[in-house]
Amino acid sequence: MVRYKCRYVLCKVIHDDRKKSFDESDIYFAVRNEVEALHGDYGVSSMKKTPSLSVKYTDKESGIVLLKCQRGLHKLLQSSLPFIKKIKGVPAFLQTIHVGGTIRSCLKFLITYHKSRLSSLLKQCTTKEEKEKVKVAILKCCQDTTQMVMTVQ
């Protein structure tokens, strides 16, 4: 028996229309269509042969997307991501943030990524109230992180 190995690609959806949010099927079809355009029948059939390509997680507020694909085929996926120009008719693209072997490693990276984003937001704050809100968010994030790591272990 052979173990099924896969890779998880953590991406950020960047688009101008902040009111528009994309669900899992929108992201899936945009990625699949781009794989088909670049790699043809081979790319699509290899992604469909085993249920290789799937969207595991989407965060509509921050625009974070977690894509799962078979190890070995992740290079086809990664080579197709920069060429995505539209998702459901809206000009948008996917920026690869991290590639991991497990969901847990992607989760750990995502926590540190959000922490660094919060500290950069603290530097951009102008009023005292904004600074207090960001400080509270940083403290809450640190507490949630320790609780999350304790439950995962």
7-36 pLDDT, tens digit each: 999 999 998 877 778 888 899 999 989 988
pLDDT value of residue 148 = 47
Domain tally for the chain?
Answer: 2
pLDDT value of residue 108 = 86
Only one residue has tokens 């101008």, namely 16
Pairing of strands 86-87, 54-59: unpaired
What type of residue sits at position 145? T
Asked if residue 124 and residue 54 are part of one domain, the reply reads: no
pLDDT value of residue 1 = 64
Asked if residue 138 and residue 83 are part of one domain, the reply reads: no
Residue span of the structural domain in which 116 resides: 106-152
pLDDT value of residue 151 = 47
Asked if residue 88 and residue 58 are part of one domain, the reply reads: yes
Asked if residue 113 and residue 92 are part of one domain, the reply reads: no
pLDDT value of residue 97 = 93
pLDDT value of residue 153 = 40
Asked if residue 90 and residue 116 are part of one domain, the reply reads: no
Report the length, in residues, of the chain. 153
Asked if residue 91 and residue 77 are part of one domain, the reply reads: yes
Only one residue has tokens 């102008």, namely 126
Whether 1 is covered by a domain: the verdict is no
Whether 93 is covered by a domain: the verdict is yes
**Percent with pLDDT over 70 in the chain:** 88
C-beta separation of 105 from 45 below 8 A: no
Asked if residue 33 and residue 58 are part of one domain, the reply reads: yes
Only one residue has tokens 């403290």, namely 139
Asked if residue 122 and residue 82 are part of one domain, the reply reads: no
Between 121 and 86, residue with greater pLDDT: 86
DSSP strands (E only) in 45-89: 54-59, 64-70, 86-87
Between 142 and 30, residue with greater pLDDT: 30
Sign of CA dihedral 66, 134, 92, 82: negative
Whether 61 is covered by a domain: the verdict is yes
Sign of CA dihedral 43, 49, 52, 58: positive
Asked if residue 20 and residue 95 are part of one domain, the reply reads: yes
pLDDT value of residue 23 = 87
pTM: 0.77
